[in-house]
Chain A
Amino acid sequence: MSKVKIINGNEAAALGAKISRVQVVAAYPITPQSKIPETLVKYVDSGEMKAEFIRVESEHSAMTVCISASTVGARVFTATAANGLAYMHEQLHWAAGARLPIVMALANRGLGAPWTIFNDMQDSISQRDTGWMQVYCRDNQEIIDSIIMGYKITEQLHVPMMVCFDGFVLSHTVMPVEIPDQDQVDAFLPPYVPHLQVDGPEPININPVMLADPRVNAEGVDCPSYMGFRLRLQETLESAGDVILKVGQEFGEIFGRDYGCLLWEYRTDGADIILLSMGSLANEASLAVDQLRDKGYKAGVVALRVFRPFPAEPLRAALSDAKHVVIFDKNISYGNEGATCTETKAALFEGDERPVITNYIVGLGGKNVSFADLEAATLKALKRKGQMNGPHWLGVAV
């Protein structure tokens, strides 16, 4: 029987790992995710969770432990934020390149310098090109569900996944979360079967040096080149959307919460104004849309649930009737604009008619963004006719 608990996002993430029967956890403290490893240690020490918990000295080592434990066949988990994720950067590439089904919880936090412990998405967006899938959660229920689904998806695709949620906004905010029944999770998520057998009859040299051109093996067969391996990773990510949808639907059939989508939509029927964002900001945008609808505007919300693989096709469809798209980014690609703005524009390039796009940079370093801010910013954007140059920064007085 599932039961409802009032828990914060970090506890939801830890429960997600426990209920997924993770076998090795390696983690390092960093605000605002420290409660995740603290909670997992309690589960392991009390015997509730049968896992090896490695108290590493850095995030670089946390990811390395996950990589090597996953390589020998264990289901692994870690969590981090901000500079911790940046410190892992080399090993994020390694994990994806080694095609390992690692699931990581990320409590989104701004990067130093200067220091901030508060929320934005600069950390995960900066890791966009490492080959990891990225899922963004709107609430704590989505955190636990995304982690359970994450193992099913990653173990099918052999590509790692980051389950991202807003630091403090979700990590430290309690709300009711339905904890799935363990037996049902076990039926949904069978034990991990690695794609390599390190203890098989034949020794293997895993992730050796590769050349740019294919080389023949002892049987005279051409084996892939470095670029051939990169192409396989790209092809897998191109097909990953279908797997995410299928697993999301299956999850919905068993647990009653349907994740058969790559985008979340709210009041988009007949909407010609779309507020676009990710994570908990989408909830705030929904409140703004309610206000705008009350005032007669045909407004709706599109939230990117999955950022990698980028859902270009469903996004084109979701924005096909939009005349104005207002994009709120909790990140900035310095010298350009917010990342979701760039990606959305690229997705719309193939369309005949393009909406007017306005990009707002919001909420960096925990700057509060209320639904009223989003509503006012949208109304301001609607006055514009042509495309804009560069993003607007919302709420920066000094």
Chain B
Amino acid sequence: MTTKTVMQLPEEEYILPGTRACSGCGLSLAYRHILKALGEKVILTIPASCLTVLHGLYPSTSVRLTNINTAFATTAASATGIAAGLKALGKTDYTVVGIAGDGGTFDIGIQALSAAAERNTDFLYICYDNEGYMNTGTQRSSATPMGAFTTTTPGTKIEHKKDILAIMEAHSIPYMASASPAYPLDLFDKVVKAKTIYGTRFVHVHIPCAPGWGFPTDDLVKLAKLAVDTGMWVLYEVEGNVFRLTGRSRRMAGSGKKKPVDQYLKLQGRFKQVTAEQIDHLQAWVDNRWERYLQRHEVSNEA
């Protein structure tokens, strides 16, 4: 199914007005469309993160869906427990969804996530990736890109971002995808598709963070689009063994046009200290990955 226009999206809103998220929050925008795709028969589980804050302080909440808060490392184990409990009780019409940030996924939560994926536990895992520990004040995670300032990499991060999707693919899960809040229809369709598949499904969403990355709040969508246009973020999905570029990235594969990474970097305060050598490294890293994706995309198209 491909959604053509925003007019086709469900009108139902699951996030109420007035959340505690920062202004210009990429997560708010992505989450709105994720929840529209999930609908009401869902139980969420969320670890300590920006999303905990968005959901609000007791006794009020800004989200109209049941959520079980859980400890930082435990998202996938918590989803496993919810799925097992519901199955034991014969309540099989719920989608169980774990939603964690990059710290909760790439770092502290990867053990439980890997275990759940290896067991092919039946739940959807969504990683919202703002490329650092933004809720605790912008510390480095293994999702932080090379050249970025964080409070724990004051001289910029020297390592590349961890390829979490490659790790998830190594678990042979039935469905995984990357998405961006700048392309809500692509995101919506991927979550809708993921919802219908049995087993561990993984959706990785790019989440620009105005206070953490240092950009004007009204540049959120512009920046998220530039990430895709430069290949810093690539939209694709892997269903079974089939790799597909999707949306804007698929069109870029057709046109052959990809902007230099510098155009994305220079709009963000976090890359203020980036060196020419680091830019070259990042460009080479992006180009290399893009080539691999193109080859896989072509191969899968031929098949």
Q: Which residue numbers of A lie inside 8 Å of B, CB to CB?
A: 23-24, 26, 50-52, 54-58, 60-61, 64-74, 76, 90-91, 94, 198-199, 203-211, 215-218, 223
Given known contacts A71-B85, A208-B58, what 8 new A-B pairs fall within 8 Å (CB)? Answer: A56-B80, A57-B112, A64-B77, A64-B112, A70-B85, A71-B81, A198-B68, A208-B56
B252 on interface, CB distance cutoff 8 Å: no
Secondary structure at chain A's binding surface: helix, strand, loop or mixed?
Answer: mixed
Is the pair A74, B69 in contact by a Cβ cutoff of 8 Å? no
- The CA-CA distance from A72 to B94 in the complex, in Å, is 12
> What are 28 A-B interface contacts by the 8 Å CB criterion?
A26-B84, A54-B80, A64-B74, A64-B77, A65-B77, A67-B70, A68-B68, A68-B79, A69-B88, A71-B82, A72-B81, A72-B85, A94-B70, A198-B66, A199-B94, A203-B63, A203-B66, A203-B67, A204-B67, A205-B69, A206-B68, A207-B69, A208-B52, A208-B57, A208-B69, A211-B58, A215-B59, A217-B59
Q: Which residue numbers of B lie inside 8 Å of A, CB to CB?
A: 43, 45, 52-53, 55-61, 63-71, 73-74, 77-82, 84-89, 91, 94, 111-112, 114-115, 119
- The CA-CA distance from A297 to B211 in the complex, in Å, is 75
3 residue pairs, one from A and one from B, having the closest CB atoms = A68-B81, A69-B85, A57-B115
Q: Which chain A residue lies CB-closest to B41?
A: A199
- The CA-CA distance from A211 to B60 in the complex, in Å, is 12
Q: Which of A54, A58, A198, A205 contacts B84 (CB 8 A)?
A: A54
Is the pair A91, B74 in contact by a Cβ cutoff of 8 Å? yes
Q: Which of B60, B70, B81, B94 contacts A69 (CB 8 A)?
A: B81
- The CA-CA distance from A26 to B114 in the complex, in Å, is 16
Is the pair A68, B58 in contact by a Cβ cutoff of 8 Å? no
Q: Which chain B residue lies CB-closest to A90?
A: B71
CB neighbours of A26 from chain B (8 A): 80-81, 84
- The CA-CA distance from A217 to B58 in the complex, in Å, is 8
Is the pair A60, B74 in contact by a Cβ cutoff of 8 Å? yes
CB neighbours of A58 from chain B (8 A): 111-112, 115
Which one of A73, A74, A91, A210 has the highest number of Cβ atoms from chain B below 10 Å of its Cβ?
A: A74
CB neighbours of A69 from chain B (8 A): 81-82, 84-85, 88
- The CA-CA distance from A208 to B67 in the complex, in Å, is 9
Q: Which chain A residue lies CB-closest to B43?
A: A198
Is the pair B115, A56 in contact by a Cβ cutoff of 8 Å? yes
Is the pair A74, B63 in contact by a Cβ cutoff of 8 Å? no
